[in-house]
Amino acid sequence: MNIFDNQIPLEKLKLNEPLKDYTYVRIGGKADMLIHPTAKEEIIKIVEIGKIHQIPLTVIGKGSNIIIKDSGIRGITISLSHFHQIKVSEDKIIAQSGANIIDVSRIALDNTLTGLEFACGIPGSTGGALYMNAGAYGGQIADVVESASLMTKNGEIMNITREEMKLGYRNSIFRRDKYIILEVEFKLEKGNKDVISSKMKELTFKREAKQPLEYPSCGSVFKRPEGHYVGKLIQECNLQGTRIGGAEISTKHAGFIINANNATAEDYLELIKLIKKRVHDKFNIYLETEINILGE
């Protein structure tokens, strides 16, 4: 049976697919059905069929900011990582949502466009970066995004301006309203290639020095509470190196939890709970998670 009337080629569709292979942290149960669309028409078809058959839909990008629970995701999981074209027009770049934000920042460099240097080491997709309003070293997506095209859960396509996205610290309207981000338009400025390139090198050096990039992780687990650094709070609770199952609080950067040895989602979530409790007990500060927890 092909509920998609053969409009989604079978090679783009996988049943009972382990999702750990699609996340940076290498954790997650199976998707009932995982689809890798490469065209807008295919995404429209998936949404339409999902609506007719009342099948829940979940969207993932590069999986660098998600923990998928051990029982996996019911219904259809749409991975947008094969929907990844990037176009440049003068000072604008339009990227499909599955394009690596790192590739978009490299294309900006190739075209002597400045503004996306901060994103040169963020390991997610363009859609995921907009969803999270990703940022680093003083820059954020909100500074450079102009507009985006989205699909609503009814399959309608609409455009949205930066103001309408309500971008805040690791926050956006997309975290509340379940749109599928299709394309993102960035407005950059003409710059100097050597300056852009050396800024990127400097930020890459800083990132490699501070982050445990040699282990699978999902980046910073918690949002920064106003006036504090998460890493310092966790360090002062003497929690670095603490392990639950295969999940460990990084000794290099306390804000990261690494998958040290075949961790499960449950290990991760238990460790998150422990950190929240210890930080709350010691400092009376409630840590909010930045990462997205998906599935059952």
How many other CB atoms sit within 10 Å of the CB of residue 249?
25
User: 289 to each of 141, 163, 221, how far by Cα in Å?
Assistant: 19, 25, 6
**Contacting ligand FAD (CB under 6 A), which of 97, 114, 259, 264?**
97
- E strands, the chain, where? 13-18, 30-35, 57-60, 66-68, 73-79, 86-89, 92-96, 113-114, 135-136, 139-140, 145-151, 157-161, 180-187, 189-190, 217-220, 243-244, 247-249, 256-259, 292-294
**Contacting ligand FAD (CB under 6 A), which of 17, 67, 94, 174?**
174
* Nearest by Cα to 139 from 90, 206, 87: 206
**Contacting ligand FAD (CB under 6 A), which of 35, 181, 234, 258?**
181
CB nearer to ligand FAD: pick between 90 and 164: 164
Residue 254 phi/psi, 5-degree rounding, is: -65, -15
Asked if 36 interacts with ligand FAD (CB under 6 A), we say no
Asked if 218 interacts with ligand FAD (CB under 6 A), we say yes
117-125, 193-201, 260-268, 281-289 -> range binding ligand FAD (CB under 6 A): 117-125
Site map for ligand FAD, 235-274, x if CB under 6 A?
----------------------------------------
**Contacting ligand FAD (CB under 6 A), which of 50, 63, 72, 139?**
63
**Contacting ligand FAD (CB under 6 A), which of 73, 132, 188, 244?**
132
120-128, 222-230, 259-267, 271-279 -> range binding ligand FAD (CB under 6 A): 120-128
Q: Looking at the annotation, which residues are catalytic? A: 170, 220, 290
**DSSP collapsed to 3 states, 27-50:** CCCEEEEEECCCCHHHHHHHHHHH
Asked if 191 interacts with ligand FAD (CB under 6 A), we say no
Asked if 64 interacts with ligand FAD (CB under 6 A), we say yes
- Which letter, b or e, does each residue of 38-63 get, where b requires 16 or more Cβ atoms within 10 Å of its Cβ? bebebbbbbbebbeeeeeebbbbbbb
Q: How many residues bind ligand FAD (CB under 6 A)?
A: 32
Name the site residues for ligand FAD (rule: CB under 6 A): 24, 59-66, 80, 97, 122-125, 127-129, 131-132, 134-136, 174, 180-181, 211, 213, 217-219, 292
